[in-house]
């Protein structure tokens, strides 16, 4: 490798390795030579090779598999799974396209928790309010998609309903219980993205370059505008996508007070 002055050595090595991947010298799935072999190939030190590999990992070109080595990532042509976010009601029962995901994952873990700086505002509550939490790993039965799902049930909202005794239900079961308690339901969602934590990356089988999608769905009483429960779904953007069916909404009627000021 010809050394270029005034450019960091590890960047030059990374460029050469990137070229080897692009030209097919190292096809997807190929295990890279050892640090020692790469250092000899490019005429640099092992720490320089280590920095070059780290740069290509951050770009999503390489994966490091513990105990096995460093591999060229298989090209990803978009998410293999899509989680539909629609809700359908049939009589007193609710259905979502994601219901099948809940039949494929692990058993739920139910625990007691409290609202924090994120969940409190979404539920219209102060921090420190008591809740039931229900966590589970869910998977797409028709693809490789995996997601971490959390159902949060504020105790002041579920007291007196079957949810207080059965917090380990699926979302659609929770919807039906809230309707049976007299609520007229509606939903709103917020989607954000962040870098996954190590435990999230491991559970969802994500690469080190993956981005985590975080979806917060609030189920609320449509008449009162009262948030009732909160769902948090975390999934890797490289393996799963979110899909929405959107209908045009009619504008809300102006209140009498608003009309009087016109």
Taking the domains of the chain in order of start, what are their residue ranges?
A: 9-72, 81-243
**How far apart are the C-alpha atoms of 194 and 76, rounded to whole Å?**
19
Give 59's pLDDT tier (boundaries 50, 70, 90): confident
Give yes or no for a contact between 245 and 150, defined as CB atoms under 8 angstroms apart: no
Non-local CB neighbours of 1 within 8 Å, separated by 6+ positions: 12, 13, 16, 41, 42, 43, 44
The CATH number of 81-243 is 3.40.1410.10
Q: What percent of the chain has pLDDT over 90?
A: 55
Q: Is the pLDDT of residue 11 over 70?
A: yes
**Beta-carbon-side half-sphere exposure of residue 32 (alpha carbons within 13 Å):** 28
The CATH number of 9-72 is 1.10.10.10
Name the 3-class secondary structure at 179.
helix
Q: How many CB atoms lie within 10 A of CB 136?
A: 19
Confidence (pLDDT) at 178: 93
**pLDDT, tens digit, 9 for 90 and up, residues 104-147:** 777 899 999 999 999 999 999 999 999 999 999 999 888 778 89
Non-local CB neighbours of 181 within 8 Å, separated by 6+ positions: 160, 161
Confidence (pLDDT) at 253: 66
User: Burial level of 54, CB count in 10 A (0-12/13-18/19+)?
Assistant: middle
Give yes or no for a contact between 106 and 181, defined as CB atoms under 8 angstroms apart: no
């Amino acid at each position: 490798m010809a050394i270029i002055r005034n450019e960091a050595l590890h960047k030059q090595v990374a460029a050469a390795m990137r070229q080897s991947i692009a030209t097919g010298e190292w096809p997807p799935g190929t295990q890279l030579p050892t640090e020692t072999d790469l250092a000899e190939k490019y005429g640099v030190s092992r720490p320089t090779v280590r920095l070059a590999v780290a740069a290509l990992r951050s770009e999503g070109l390489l994966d490091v598999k513990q105990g096995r080595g460093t591999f060229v990532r298989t090209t990803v042509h978009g998410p293999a799974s899509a989680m539909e976010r629609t809700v359908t009601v049939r009589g007193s029962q609710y259905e979502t396209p994601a219901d099948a995901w809940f039949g494929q994952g692990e058993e739920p873990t139910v625990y007691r928790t409290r609202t924090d700086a994120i969940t409190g505002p979404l539920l219209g509550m102060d921090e420190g309010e008591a809740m039931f939490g229900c966590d589970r790993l869910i998977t797409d039965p028709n693809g490789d998609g995996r997601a971490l799902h959390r159902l949060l049930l504020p105790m002041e909202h579920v007291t007196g309903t079957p949810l207080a005794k059965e917090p380990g239900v699926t979302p659609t079961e929770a919807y039906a219980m809230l309707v049976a308690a007299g609520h007229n339901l509606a939903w709103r969602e917020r989607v954000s993205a962040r870098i996954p934590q190590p435990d999230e990356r491991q559970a969802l089988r994500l690469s080190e370059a993956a981005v985590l999608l975080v979806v917060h769905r609030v189920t609320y009483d449509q008449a009162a505008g009262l948030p009732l429960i909160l769902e948090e779904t975390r999934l890797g953007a490289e393996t799963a996508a979110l899909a929405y069916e959107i209908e045009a909404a009619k504008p809300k009627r102006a209140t009498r007070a608003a009309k009087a000021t016109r």
